[in-house]
Amino acid sequence: MEDIQFGSMAASAILMGILALIYKVATRDDGTNCIPNRFKPLLAVGLGIVLSIVGMYYNELIPTFKNVVNHVLVGLNIGLSAVGLWEVYKENRG
């Protein structure tokens, strides 16, 4: 299955933007985070799944068992990919 699309935007790019916004808003003035690091991957995966299900309805697919399972798995993959990309960025940002 290809990446979930909202018009010309890929769900993975939208998820990265949403996560960046949430992490920015959840940062206090002293630079500490309101969201513990152990919950960030869970947030990314959860939002990836939700965004994928929303994408299913956006693309006017009938919510059959197969479509829902496919979109949940794609959302899981999108969330896990976002976590992996963030870890690579965090390790190499100098």
Q: How far is CA 55 from the centre of its chain?
A: 12
Distance from C-alpha of 15 to C-alpha of 62, rounded to nearest angstrom: 23
| Mean pLDDT (whole number) for 56-65 | 92
Q: How far is CA 56 from the centre of its chain?
A: 15
| Mean pLDDT (whole number) for 68-90 | 85
Domain boundaries, the chain: 8-92
pLDDT of residue 1: 52
Kindly report whether the global pTM for this prediction surpasses the value 0.85: no
